[in-house]
Chain A
Amino acid sequence: MRRALAVLVVALALPAAAGAQPGVGVKAKTGKGLYAGYCLSCHGVDGSGVISTSHPKGVLDLRGLGPPLRGVGAQAADFYLTTGYMPLADPHDQPRHTKSPFDKQEIAALVAYVASLGKGPKVPRPQPRLGDLSQGQSLFTEHCAGCHQIVAEGGYVTNAVAPPLHQATPVQIAEAVRIGPYLMPKFPVSQISDAQLNSIIAYVQWAKHPDDPGGWSIGRIGPVPEGLVAWLIGAAALVGCCLLIGRRFQR
Chain B
Amino acid sequence: MIRAIVRYVDERSGTAPFLKRALRYVFPDHWSFLLGEVALYAFVILVGTGIYLTLFFEPSTAQTYYTGHYLPLRGHQMSVAYRSGVDLSFKVRAGLLMRQTHHWAADVFVAAIVLHMLRIFFTGAYRKPRDLTYYIGLTMLILALLEGYLGYSIVDDLLSGMGLAIGYSVLMSIPFVGGNLAMLLWGGPFPGTSAFESRMYIAHVFLFPILIATLLGLHLFLVAARHHTQFRESRRTTEKKVVGIPTFPGQAPRSLGLFFAVAAVLFLLGGLVQINPIWLWGPYHVAQGTNGAQPDWYLGWLIGALRLVPNFDVTIGHYTLVPNPFWGGALFPLVVFMLLYLAPSLERRFTGEYGFRNVLDRPRDAPWRTALGAALFTWVFVIFFAGASDRIFVSFGVSYEAQIWAFRVLAVVAPFVALLATYRLCLALQESDRLDRIRRRAEAEARGEMPQPE
Contacts and interface: CB of A to CB of B under 8 A. Distances in A.
Whether the complex brings A and B within 8 Å at their CB atoms is answered yes
A124 to B, nearest CB: 24
A183 interface: no
Contacts of B277: 212, 214, 217, 220
Interface string A189-233: 000000000000001001000101111111011111011011101
Given A146-B291, A231-B111, A213 B273 contact: no
A150 B281 contact: yes
B87 interface: no
Interface string A226-251: 11011101110111011101111111
Contacts of A76: none
A151 interface: yes
Q: How large is the interface on B (under 10, 10 to 19, 20 to 34, 35 or more residues)?
A: 35 or more
A54 to B, nearest CB: 27
A215 B401 contact: no
Nearest to B31: A246
A138 interface: yes
B351 interface: no
B89 A245 contact: no
A248 B290 contact: no
Interface of B is mostly: helix
Contacts of B203: none
A59 to B, nearest CB: 38
A230 B288 contact: no
B272 A216 contact: yes
A145 interface: yes
A149 to B, nearest CB: 4
Contacts, number: 189
A226 B266 contact: no
A251 B262 CA distance: 29
Contact of B231 (A212, A241, A249): A249
A159 B390 CA distance: 11
A58 B233 CA distance: 83
B255 to A, nearest CB: 8
B282 A223 contact: no
B75 interface: yes
Nearest to B261: A241
B71 A134 contact: yes
B90 interface: yes
A106 interface: no
A148 interface: yes
A162 interface: yes
Contacts of A138: 76
Given A155-B291, A238-B262, A220 B35 contact: no
Given A146-B291, A246-B33, A226 B296 contact: yes
B111 A230 contact: yes
B276 to A, nearest CB: 7
A138 B273 CA distance: 27
Given A137-B282, A223-B295, A159 B401 contact: yes
B372 interface: no
B34 interface: yes
Interface of A: 133-134, 136-138, 141-142, 145-151, 153-159, 161-162, 164, 203, 206, 210, 212-218, 220-224, 226-227, 229-231, 233-235, 237-239, 241-243, 245-251
29 contacts: A138-B76, A141-B288, A145-B289, A149-B291, A150-B291, A155-B291, A155-B390, A158-B400, A162-B291, A206-B72, A213-B90, A222-B159, A223-B294, A223-B297, A224-B300, A226-B297, A227-B107, A227-B296, A229-B275, A233-B269, A234-B108, A235-B108, A235-B111, A235-B115, A238-B38, A241-B265, A247-B29, A249-B231, A251-B233
